[in-house]
Structure 1
């Protein structure tokens, strides 16, 4: 099966520091992948490159069956092409209800002029209810987003990304700051989402990664150090030396 995302020979340098060093990475359609590694390993820069925030010095990044070059697209064009990114800190409209946040995400596909006069239709409200159910917020639709717990805000932001129907979802440290129950629900959600799209989870919490039960890529100094099951990569002496053995 061909890769949905293929990063090949990518390097990028900031002020003499090589943040990404000849990185090659690919993920298939409907695959769940965890990316781990020490601070400074290049995890955030990798996501910045895929989403168009950072342009690499060398290499290629292609997406979809037609192998469209993401390096030729703007951040907005990459998002429209089907790449969604969730940052570590949730960014939701706290004065608006869960319903209103999800509706605004649905509206994002429309032109600014049409948005001014847009009113939700029956199918829009049905879509909002389905999204809320998908991220565990079906009973929170009327609440202001600012009243939600940290974990619920994370889920709402994922729901807002899902409203754009991404084919690839990049999720940065979703378990951070969550309660145990929220972490368990997040695990189940990400596993379920990967049935219909590719999901890349960048995470430090090894127990959370273990529960995802997926292939793991270890980054170090901007390139892939090891890849395989969690048991496989955590038994790798180099991974133990540069990452697991710390602290």
Structure 2
């Protein structure tokens, strides 16, 4: 099933076309890598999906009811089940790994719900399951500030998974990681994509190869090529504008 459809979307900043008639579809479940040179429109593409940037034209449709994301606020889009992980991990450093995951759990968020929040057995099991999924079971009682860079990235992915999103946008997760951490990160993302859509924006080609998924190459705000990594890396246009650099 198509979960997200971007159709004919364009956006300009001070006369510069950051996104130019962009169209693509993301299925559910699906793992998709988005690559391209600096200035290709990768970040603006994510900004549009999450409601941070409004396009000048085009449509962005979501879910079975073809809802328009362009008519929603950032918080409404998040509630619809779209989670975004930025490049720099943002976790609560003074809190434990368990407390970080508990804060992120998908619970009722009204003032009284938060005031009278009780730990539930179900919530505890969910935290344990997420900790296992992100490889931090042994670190649940540690302060988040003590974790390595890679472990903080996994914790933030876990905090997004705790909100049970249907679409996860992940920006350059491999940056600053050791080879072993990069390997575990690909495993975490591949597991997550079995039950939801995951879009990974990345520069590291070896990391993209390990993801072993469909790749979309952006250039000057449009889709230049799409397919397996082997398919797109043989494309002469892709070689000219991106890989040849």
**Both structures adopt the same fold (TM-score exceeding 0.5):** yes
Is the contact between residue 96 and residue 140 of structure 2 (CA under 8 Å) also seen in structure 1?
yes
1:82 has 2:69 as partner? no
1:103 has 2:107 as partner? no
Is the contact between residue 210 and residue 230 of structure 1 (CA under 8 Å) also seen in structure 2?
yes
User: Kindly tell me: are residues 109 and 241 of structure 1, through their superposed partners in 2, closer, same or farther at Cα, counting changes over 3 Å?
Assistant: farther
- 1:205 Cα shift? 0.2
How many residue pairs match? The answer is 245
Is the contact between residue 107 and residue 115 of structure 1 (CA under 8 Å) also seen in structure 2?
no
1: CA distance, partners of 2:146 / 2:134: 17
Matched residue SS, 1:176: coil
1:229 has 2:222 as partner? no
- 1:108 Cα shift? 5.8
Partner of 2:198: 199
Partner of 2:113: 114
Which consecutive unaligned segments of at least 5 residues does structure 1 have? none
1: CA distance, partners of 2:153 / 2:10: 31
Give structure 1 regions of 4+ aligned residues with deviation exceeding 3 angstroms. none
The normalised TM-score by structure 1 is 0.97
Partner of 1:174: 173
Matched residue SS, 2:105: helix
Partner of 1:156: 155
1: CA distance, partners of 2:86 / 2:49: 14
The normalised TM-score by structure 2 is 0.98
2: CA distance, partners of 1:43 / 1:161: 20
1:19 has 2:18 as partner? yes
- 1:117 Cα shift? 2.6
1: CA distance, partners of 2:211 / 2:27: 17
Partner of 2:141: 142
Partner of 1:42: 41
1:74-96 CA deviation, whole Å, 9 max, x = no partner?
11111110111111110000000
Is the contact between residue 34 and residue 203 of structure 1 (CA under 8 Å) also seen in structure 2?
yes
**How well do the aligned residues superpose, as a CA RMSD in angstroms?**
1.0
1: CA distance, partners of 2:26 / 2:66: 13
1:10-38 CA deviation, whole Å, 9 max, x = no partner?
00001111100000011111111100000
Matched residue SS, 1:77: helix
1:243 has 2:242 as partner? yes
Is the contact between residue 20 and residue 223 of structure 1 (CA under 8 Å) also seen in structure 2?
yes
Is the contact between residue 108 and residue 114 of structure 2 (CA under 8 Å) also seen in structure 1?
no
Matched residue SS, 2:17: strand
2: CA distance, partners of 1:80 / 1:129: 23
Partner of 2:5: 6
